[in-house]
Structure 1
Amino acid sequence: MSGILETQQLTHIFPNGKAAIQEINLSIKGGEFVIIAGPNGSGKTVLIRHFNGLFLPTKGKVLLEGEPITKDLTEARKKIGLIFQNSDSQIVGQTVADDVAFGPENLNLSRKEVDHRVKESLEAVGLSDLANQQPHTLSGGQKKKLTVAGVLAMNPQIIVFDEPFTGLDYPGVLQVLKQIVGLHKNGHTIILVTHELEKTLAHAGRLIIMEKGRIVRDGEPSQLINEVELYGIRRPYGQNRSVETMTWLS
């Protein structure tokens, strides 16, 4: 069965001739929680930036519901939300509410619909009380939640996170992790790039490992946990801890 999101022979070569990703064939089904892991330089971020057309391939293609995303990039970006590693690079509004409204406003929606989406999205991430606050005053965890709200306001089917825990303290990690798990429970397809498997692996149904621009392993986390160190990925602490017990959430 075809997935909601697919890549076929996806290859990206930089202008200097270096191949960032090579011949990636991948199919992700609706409702999956997928982790993409790999050492620095393995091609993880380059891969996910092709999912909604931020990068265009040198060869191959990306399909969304069976159609090339290049057929309608605007529609693809509505259905696939990408949350960057650096939250500040994604925040553009003068207030929290303004920032969440930015995406819907660019869809030329009515004021009533924009306000409705902003209200729902802020409630979903627990930032309603900070709607009129300036984003630069937020904590790291709150900024990450704000970027999630901005993506939610676009009503995406798929949400892609690129190293969502970078720079966060423990409370911030818990805030963001609860948000991600909640989004999955509410029916969103989650794709998460991370090297911190101990925080997320218990919640995922699939682990993809990349090395040198290629997918080298793809399967259930419990089947691959003993192999991750072979690919330069830190194994979650505790030699005998099973994937089922590695959870940061109660």
Structure 2
Amino acid sequence: MIILEARNLTHVFPDGTVAIKDVNLAVRKGEFVVIAGANGSGKTVLVRHFNGLLLPSRGEVLLEGKPITKDLTRARKLIGLIFQDADSQIVGQTVAGDVAFGPENLRLAPEEVKKRVKESLEAVGLSHLAEQRPHLLSGGQKRRLTIAGVLAMKPRIIVFDEPFAGLDYPGVVQVLNQILKLHREGHTMIVVTHDLEKVLAHADRLIILEKGQIVQDGRPCEIISQVERYGIKRPYGKNRGVESMTWLS
């Protein structure tokens, strides 16, 4: 079943720069997709269209067969986007307050908000820090807090934009564990990265962007030998038939 689809998606900035052009892709429910490309290839611009944070100059995005522009609130509930800069996504004075922000904006009953906050913090292992101030968290903990904030909205699709940027090894392990756990639980996962070695071994599909267009789309084991021509570092080692570093067992 196709859950998310982009049709002829094009975005032109006011200065005339074409960020993405005629992008067509379909993501199936439960799929684990990695979108890769060199800096400036259009990765972030593309995924910000998925829940309407950016609107296209031409084309459309469909969620479960319906254009997201028909109901942007629904799209932003069902498609959670986790930014590269966790600090830009954290708005609460406490960890629990930050997770509550989204559900409260949906005007849910206080009991439901409290329930979602509790469940989301448990899911990312931050329950013991519920009253902590977010700026005191480590980089990995901040990334997990943003994941909790998205989980509280009950999404079906979770999009990570460069989830490992700026993290030390323990932070990378924390976040990668969380991504894999969410996928096992049935979420559709889209991970944007230019660094394949941490995540590619776990992916069902690899999409490569270059100059705002999809130039490769298929199984990682079929595409991995070509990534360097697009300015992407090629991972080494072997795991599940895909060349990659094995970060976790």
- Aligned residues: CA RMSD: 1.1
What is the CA–CA distance in structure 2 between the aligned matches of 1:198 and 1:248, rounded to whole Å?
8
Aligned to 2:64: 65
State TM-score, norm by structure 1: 0.97
Question: What SS does structure 1 have at the residue aligned with 2:59?
Answer: strand
Work out whether residues 141 and 172 of structure 1, in 8 Å CA contact, stay in contact via their aligned partners in 2.
Answer: yes
Residues 38, 232 of structure 1: 8 Å contact kept: yes
Q: Where does 1:195-234 land on structure 2 (aligned, <5 Å)?
A: 195-234=194-233
Write the letter of the residue equivalent to 1:14: F
The 3-state SS of whatever aligns with 1:208 is: strand
- Taking the aligned partners of 2:118 and 2:148, their CA distance within structure 1 comes to 10
Counterpart of 1:9? 8
The code of the aligned residue for 1:209 comes to I
Distance 1:21 1:184 in 2: 27
8 Å Cα contact 1:83/1:160 also seen in 2: yes
- Is the 8 Å Cα contact of residues 203 and 247 (structure 1) preserved in structure 2? no
The offset of 1:246, in angstroms, is 3.2
| CA-to-aligned-CA distance 1:191-246 (integer Å, 9 cap, x gap) | 000111110001100000000000000000011110100111000135x7752763
Distance 1:245 1:69 in 2: 35
Q: 1:126 to 1:135 in 2, by over 3 A?
A: same
SS of equivalent to 1:165? coil
Instruction: Say yes or no: does 1:190 pair with 2:185.
Output: no
Matched, 1:122 2:109: no
Q: How far apart in 2 are the matches of 1:166 and 1:233? A: 15
Provide, for residues 169-207 of structure 1, a one-character-per-residue CA deviation record: whole Å limited to 9, x for no partner. 000000000000000000000000011111000110000
Partner of 1:107: 106
The answer to whether the 8 A contact 1:140-1:168 is kept is: yes
TM-score by length of 2: 0.98
SS of residue matched to 1:4: strand
- Alignment match, 1:151: 150
Alpha-carbon distance in 2 for matches of 1:161, 1:245: 19
Unpaired runs of 5+ residues, structure 1, are none
Q: Distance in 2 between matches of 1:41 and 1:245?
A: 24
What is the CA–CA distance in structure 1 between the aligned matches of 2:210 and 2:166, rounded to whole Å?
24
Secondary structure, counterpart of 2:122 in structure 1: helix
Identity of aligned residues (%): 71
Per-residue deviation, residues 34-73 of structure 1 (Å, max 9, x unmatched): 0000001100000000000000000000000010000000
Within-5 A mapping of 1:157-168: 157-168=156-167
Paired residue for 2:139? Answer: 140
